[in-house]
Amino acid sequence: MHSQTPAVKLTLAALAISGVFLASRAFAADITGHVMGGGAPIAQSTVTLWAATSDAPKQLAQTKTDNEGRFEVSTAGAPDDSSLYLTAGGGIPARNKAGGDNPAIALLAVVGRKPPARVVINEFTTIASVWTHAQLIDGMTIKGAQLQLSIAAGNVSNFVDPETGGWGGAIQDPLNSSQTPTMANFATLADLLSACVTRVKADACSSLFEAATPPGWSAPTNTLNAAEDIALFPWHHPDKLFALLRQFYSVSPANHMLEVPYMPYLNWAPSAWVLPLEFTGGGYVAGGKCMFDSDGNLWVGDNFTVGWRGQDSLWQGHATKFAPNGKPLSPITTGFTGGGMEGGTFGAAVDTKDNAWLTTYGGKSIAVFDKNGKPLTPPDGITFNGQLGLMQGVIVTPSGDVWVIGASKSQLVYFPKGDLTKGRIVCEGDKVEPCKSFLGPFHLGIDQQDRIWVTNAFAGHVTRFPASDPSKAEKFSVGSSPSGLAIDSQGNVWVTNRLGNGPLGLAHLADMGIRAKTEGVVPAMDYLTKTMSTQQGATDGGGSVTLLRPDGTQYPGSPFTGGGLPGPWAAVVDGNDNVWISNFAMPSSPIVELCGVRTEHCPPGVHTGDQISPTGGYVGGGLQMQTDLGIDPAGNVWVMNNWQDIDSCIGTPKEALSTRCGGQGVTIFYGMAKPVRAPQIGPARPY
């Protein structure tokens, strides 16, 4: 965000490469670097080193670049728990033929707690730092909790190498380079900033600032503010920014390409200026439910196992753990095994001790791991002597209790205070409430009144009961095949209806119910997933989202539909009470942000239930058919790819494609959502 005053702000700059680290010399600089614009030095730019904490950032050093764009600063006095960043403001770009100081230059480089000795500050470092810190930055100020700052800084190098100012590792790896448009999105943004930095045209800065202005805001006044506005409002007229590319740069007669400083650039306007990256490894295949632990690591139960073919691998998967920067922390092929972990489902929770609770289909069990991946449950998991069926949702309540539901036997399981030795089956089947109200129970959540809400995959209702007395169950109508649910800060319940609310969805629901009774839960779920793979949003063949007030009545305008809801599966609430939805539909499904009940956090004219994201949702980053998504403490949205090739999942697949049933990797959309605390126990808690 930027100031409403016309004064030009200094920007957060990046450390430059070149120069020598003189650690052995008294009073020597800790960091040497270059400030660059369009690939050439910027002279006389004011470089400031800052230490970010939860309070206002502390200025540690300030200097000006020489005629070659070089600078030196010392990190002396930096607090141990701080994240360091550099800003570069103004200066004379060598690439600007007209010469003179450009006060609109504002560049940023976040280098974290342990900065490299040499750094380049340029357009690349600015974009990488802004998008990873989008929820923590305001003008030239970065601040946040230590965990938030650590997560954000730790992801900068996924986009840019701070020592060279060139490409980072993840963005140019095989998953993210030629397989997604993220590199081109990134380079195009860098070209647009560079056009202002180097004044490729007299009106380059004013044109950029006008196109980047968010609805209802004043125009940015420097390149850093412009980048921040684009990152926070990526959906706002992306075509206007894209059109500037060909206004700023001419086609080279030598190679028929635009004479831009950074490539590859986009040939068509994006639907939004998002920069998602995909990560895999650690045994990840077809992730189901996910949950963050207190350090911001992601735990997920896998439906499948690595290297298996088609149906052979279904419900044999293990547990995967990712670091906050996307690096896998579990074994590369097997993931975490043991403790009854066989075939993860849509059940994952992390308790107050950072133990991960995961439910299974293959093992018909509950598995629990400590934070290091050591099983805390017996080799077969918790099965209650083989009494459990196919298990699904699991939650930890604010009081420390753990509740689990089973889909095939309509079971409710309870662990007081999360004690593994004191668990019991509360009820089962259709004779006692709340199980009598269950029909393929899928997911659950607890509200601020200590009431538990349960979705029912083979029905059109959700069940609610007091945690203190589960027998007092009530049913509330929603759409067909409710799946995920999330509870906002006001106690409203958001429910995803995978088959929507139309006649076609009701017909599919009836067919699925018949299969569940005659063939079992797994064939019924296969029918559901096959049906959803062809659904389209904003049609009778699409999904919907129901919003229930705390008393169970429907919110005005509910259910919500739209082009970005072809097959909604999971729902999560961010720190602004806006709601994020994953989709299991089509080979490449979108994710969607809906305006929540606190509409002051939505764009002007957008109402509760309306899409904030583009009409077709946010795409890119290797998205496939998804199950869950989660919001980490830095505001990044993580999405679980669950199925990849529907024809490799059902029936006899083609030999060459036979291992492509399970979804590949998790996709991280950076800086998109208002952060929430981890682990999530009860409704989402904002920072």
DSSP 166-200: EE-TGGGSTTTSTTSSHHHHHHHHHHHHHHHHTTS
Residue 27 has pLDDT above 50, yes or no: no
pLDDT value at residue 651 = 77
- In this structure, which long-range contacts are made by residues 95-103, counting pairs with CB atoms below 8 Å and at least 24 apart in sequence? 95/37, 95/38, 95/39, 95/40, 95/198, 95/261, 96/37, 96/198, 96/199, 98/199, 101/44, 102/196, 102/197, 102/199, 102/205, 103/8, 103/222
Residue 117 lies in a domain: yes
Quick: pLDDT tens for 100-110. 999 999 999 99
Residue 579 has pLDDT above 70, yes or no: yes
pLDDT value at residue 647 = 85
Question: What average pLDDT score do residues 558-578 get?
Answer: 97
User: Does 167 share its domain with 287?
Assistant: no
Residue 188 lies in a domain: no
* pLDDT tier, 629 (very low <50, low <70, confident <90, very high otherwise): very high
pLDDT value at residue 525 = 87
Q: Per mean pLDDT, which range of 7-11, 47-51, 156-160 is the poorest?
A: 7-11
Q: Per mean pLDDT, which range of 124-133, 371-380, 635-644, 650-659 is the poorest?
A: 650-659
Residue 685, C-beta contacts closer than 8 angstroms, at least 6 positions apart:
676, 677
In sign, the C-alpha dihedral spanning 555, 557, 559, 565 is negative
List 546's β-bridge partners, or say none: 495
Residue 269 lies in a domain: no
- Check: CB of residue 54 under 8 Å from CB of residue 160: no
- Check: CB of residue 169 under 8 Å from CB of residue 177: no
Q: How much is the pTM?
A: 0.94
Residue 659 lies in a domain: yes
Quick: pLDDT tens for 399-439. 999 999 999 999 999 999 999 999 999 999 988 999 999 99
pLDDT value at residue 311 = 66
Q: Are β-strands 118-121 and 31-37 bridged in parallel, bridged antiparallel, or unpaired?
A: parallel
Last residue of a domain, one of 137, 172, 207: 172
Question: What average pLDDT score do residues 456-474 get?
Answer: 98
User: Does 435 share its domain with 296?
Assistant: yes
List 321's β-bridge partners, or say none: 299
pLDDT value at residue 314 = 74
* CATH at residue 400: 2.120.10.30
User: Does 491 share its domain with 606?
Assistant: yes
Question: What average pLDDT score do residues 42-55 get?
Answer: 98
pLDDT value at residue 17 = 32
Last residue of a domain, one of 172, 196, 219: 172
User: Does 424 share its domain with 559?
Assistant: yes
User: Does 602 share its domain with 464?
Assistant: yes
Residue 26, Cβ neighbours under 10 Å: how many?
5
Q: Are β-strands 70-73 and 31-37 bridged in parallel, bridged antiparallel, or unpaired?
A: antiparallel
Residue 15 lies in a domain: no
Residue 21 has pLDDT above 80, yes or no: no
Residue 455, Cβ neighbours under 10 Å: how many?
30
Distance CA 72, CA 28 (A): 9
Tokens (6 digits) for 328: 């896998």
Last residue of a domain, one of 147, 172, 197: 172
pLDDT value at residue 313 = 62
Quick: pLDDT tens for 252-302. 988 889 999 999 999 999 999 999 999 999 999 999 999 999 999 999 999
Q: Which domain holds residue 101?
A: 31-172
Residue 545 has pLDDT above 90, yes or no: yes
Distance CA 331, CA 438 (A): 37
User: Does 484 share its domain with 608?
Assistant: yes
Question: What average pLDDT score do residues 530-555 get?
Answer: 95
Q: Strands, DSSP E only, in 333-401?
A: 344-350, 356-360, 366-369, 391-396
Residue 387 has pLDDT above 80, yes or no: yes
* CATH at residue 144: 2.60.40.1120
User: Does 401 share its domain with 528?
Assistant: yes
Residue 16 has pLDDT above 50, yes or no: no
Does residue 678 or residue 22 have the better pLDDT?
678
Residue 236 lies in a domain: no
User: Does 497 share its domain with 624?
Assistant: yes
Distance CA 63, CA 356 (A): 48
Residue 310 has pLDDT above 90, yes or no: no
Residue 28 has pLDDT above 60, yes or no: no
pLDDT value at residue 9 = 32
Residue 323 buriedness (CB in 10 A; 0-12 / 13-18 / 19+):
middle
User: Does 664 share its domain with 539?
Assistant: yes
User: Does 288 share its domain with 165?
Assistant: no
Question: What average pLDDT score do residues 107-123 get?
Answer: 97
Residue 197 lies in a domain: no
How many distinct structural domains can be found in the chain?
2
Question: What average pLDDT score do residues 654-662 get?
Answer: 90
Q: Per mean pLDDT, which range of 45-59, 98-112, 363-377, 526-540 is the poorest?
A: 526-540
Residue 26 has pLDDT above 50, yes or no: no
Residue 122 lies in a domain: yes
